[in-house]
Amino acid sequence: MAAMQDEARAGGVRVRGARWRPLAGRFAAIVALLAGVNAAAPARADDAAPIEIGMVTPLTGAAAESGRYAEWGAEMAVAEVNAAGGVLGRPLKLVIEDDQTTNPGVVSAFNRLANDSAIVAFLGSIRSTQVHAMDPDVRRVAKPVFFGGTDPNLTHAGDPWLFRCRPNDTYSAKVIASFGVQTLNLKKWALVTSTDAFGSSGARLLTAELQALGASVVTAQGYANQTPDFTPVVLAVKGSGAEVIGSYFTFEQDLAIFARQLRQLGVRSPWVGSPSITDTAALHLAGPALYGTYGVADFNADSSPEAKAYAEAYQKLHKAPADQFSAWTYDAIKIAARAMTTAKSTDPAAFRTAILAIRGYKGTEGTYDFDANGDGLHGYNVVQNKSGKLVFVKRVDFPAP
């Protein structure tokens, strides 16, 4: 075990809360692939301790597949930064805790990381309900936390330490509504949304945007996460007379069950979903049941040269397509490194000021222009699932508030 721990530390990543894993070989491969260096060359002797960034992600539980993708994205960014000389002359080190795909788990994982004074910043959850659960401790710790949850309330509740590396659902609702009503010319909507913070916020925002465009919500169906049977929801949608479905699903497993039952019961209505409908895990689980659907995606390989380069490198390394689970963590590490370099410090206050000053940074998910609330992105991509391949339709950006 001691040898394995040493090997993991040498690779730039420590994984805690689940198991130690030997990642040094994988980091060497990442560096060789992305930075063009010789993976067999001896490491440079550092004269300063690594800069540690903590990360909470699901290594176990229902979201473990997406958690693995998030980890891969962060690892790639750390390897690139270190290959380029690190930050302030020091290498980055990623310290990972398993959030177990639960709210209590994410709180415990974050607090285990927060007890390590060497950690200067954190990567939080992609799930809004978990970020809400973390928030009291984020305020107490008072260090930058980058996260991927899209509930707009997370950056409008007075926590100065939260920085979102995905667009929020103010924008997803605008894009879903405008595309469905103005491009597809569909006015009668069925909404299917989780009853958690993410889904409830999405339902409220999408309803308002649809009404503003003269469309109507003929049925609104809420469901609890980890629902094993969506038959009542599907039947309500089928009997509503809706022309199109809009959705906010928190977990890919729920979305896949709904999609399969929707098709089994003969519903063939167009469907425009939140980013979960474009997740790699959802595509694996639902398969043909999602063919023909549309989604708003914060990451798509064809949306920009930066996204394309990242997707090609990720595919080559992991033999899997990149999606927002890996893209946002990759961007978060790069933004953290950029901000610390600008601030010339890891001091939390200086670090925070430098993050908020970032303008025009071209990441994999879009161009980052942080606003005073800590939101970095302000637009989405529209994509369509054509026989399992996500085809880019268009990019929609809004001015930062």
CATH of domain 169-297+382-397: 3.40.50.2300
Alpha helices in 165-304 (DSSP H): 169-178, 197-212, 231-238, 252-264, 280-286
Per-residue three-class SS string for 50-115: CEEEEEEECCCCCCHHHHHHHHHHHHHHHHHHHHCCCECCECEEEEEEECCCCHHHHHHHHHHHHC
Is the CB of residue 74 less than 8 Å from the CB of residue 123?
yes
Q: Tell whether the model's pLDDT for residue 268 goes beyond 70.
A: yes
The pLDDT of residue 2 is above 90: no
Summarize the confidence of residues 275-292 as an average pLDDT.
Answer: 96
Contact status, residue 69 vs residue 26, Cβ threshold 8 Å: no
The pLDDT value given to residue 401: 84
Q: Which of 21-35, 41-55, 202-216 has the largest mean confidence?
A: 202-216
Q: Which two tokens stand for residue 244?
A: 């199109």
The predicted-structure confidence for 170-208, as pLDDT tens digits, reads as follows: 999 999 999 999 999 999 999 999 999 999 999 999 999
pLDDT at 26 over 70: no
Same fold, 2-167+304-370 and 169-297+382-397: yes
Across 381-400, average pLDDT: 95
Contact by Cβ (8 Å): 391, 382: no
**Average pLDDT along the chain:** 91
Fold of the domain spanning 2-167+304-370: Rossmann fold (3.40.50)
Does position 32 have pLDDT exceeding 50, yes or no?
no
Residue 102 clears pLDDT 70, i.e. is over it: yes
Confidence bin at 227 (pLDDT 50/70/90): very high
Asked if residue 43 has pLDDT above 60, the reply is no
pLDDT band at 14 (very low <50, low <70, confident <90, very high): low
Give the Cα separation of 243 and 341 in Å (integer).
51
Give the 3-state secondary structure of residue 198. Answer: helix
For the chain, give every domain's residue range.
2-167+304-370, 169-297+382-397
Read off the pLDDT of each residue in 244-250 and give the average, rounded to a whole number.
Answer: 97
Helix axis angle, 103-114 to 128-141, nearest 10°:
30
CA pair distance 373, 164, nearest whole angstrom: 9
Q: Where do we find the tokens 């994410």?
A: 106
